[in-house]
A = this chain, B = another copy of it.
Amino acid sequence: MAKTQHLDSTEELKSKKSKSERTAERLYEISIDQFLRRGFDQTTMRDLAQAAELSPGAFYYHFPSKEAVIQRFYEQTFAQFAEAAREAMSAHERFEARYMGLLEARLSTFRSSRELLIVLSRTAVDPRSTLSPFGPDQKEIREATIDLMRECIDGSDLSAHAKLRPYLPELLWMYMMGLIFYWVFDTSPEQKQTRELIRLLTPQIIRLIRFSRIPLTGRVLQPLFQVLQLVIPEPLALRQDSNKSTSRE
């Protein structure tokens, strides 16, 4: 964000990336490689600097902190996830299949780096941390993910009570976040327990959403709507400027 880059030199059009960006990219790759090989806590900044044949100080010129590398990783895998999710969703119209595909896409793009997510989780719980999915620093990724939930709903056969509908993207997002959290700390072999949990619980959640249309449940639903309004005061769907990718040159 806020990178003042003038695309007027021919070299930049060719290589597309400044020297600084290339160095940052190199540092990132070396770091992730080391983290996966030796663990996040076990890898020191001096290790990273040495592996990159650089001084620790230079590292801090390109990254504000050790954890910021994980932040970049998080952004990176999000792109993969979004792509995989969209492909999975394009194959189905039934909401259950679409959403299950989305969840599967999320876990499989995380699979190879569960340990990094543990590190992320540790700091991410504090909403004041820059790594928190709920904080302002992650707004972009968060809203993009919530928008992915909207896509998942929009192309599907899912029906729900009109009052519930605007909250659905956020709710599905929260459900996914909870599952990721469960998965990260799931010690069962290959995290089969989370798989089983998803298989059992998700259809019931969806069933409840569909049930919301039945009028007689009104007396139960009324207070739950109040809860939704309290916890999600401004759902993305009800925002003014919900313009998507209108990049103006």
**Which residues of A line the B interface, CB within 8 A?**
118, 121-123, 125-127, 185, 193, 196-197, 200-201, 203-204, 207, 220, 223-224, 226-227, 230-231
**Known A121-B126, A123-B122; contact A226-B200, beta-carbon cutoff 8 A:** yes
**Sampled A-B contacts (27; CB under 8 Å):** A118-B126, A121-B125, A121-B126, A122-B122, A122-B125, A122-B126, A125-B125, A126-B185, A127-B185, A193-B230, A196-B230, A197-B227, A197-B230, A197-B231, A200-B223, A200-B226, A200-B227, A200-B230, A201-B223, A201-B224, A201-B227, A203-B223, A204-B220, A204-B223, A204-B224, A204-B227, A207-B220
Chain B residue contacts of A193, Cβ below 8 A: 230
Chain B residue contacts of A201, Cβ below 8 A: 223-224, 227
Instruction: Give complex CA distance A32, B204 in Å.
Output: 46
Instruction: Give complex CA distance A203, B224 in Å.
Output: 10
Chain B residue contacts of A197, Cβ below 8 A: 227, 230-231
Instruction: Give complex CA distance A125, B204 in Å.
Output: 27
Instruction: Give complex CA distance A127, B200 in Å.
Output: 24
CB distance from A221 to the nearest CB of B (A): 9
Chain B residue contacts of A125, Cβ below 8 A: 121-122, 125
**Closest B residue to A197 using CB positions:** B230
Chain B residue contacts of A123, Cβ below 8 A: 122
CB distance from A185 to the nearest CB of B (A): 5
Nearest first, the 8 closest Cβ-Cβ pairs linking A and B are: A125-B125, A127-B185, A200-B227, A201-B227, A200-B226, A204-B223, A200-B223, A122-B126
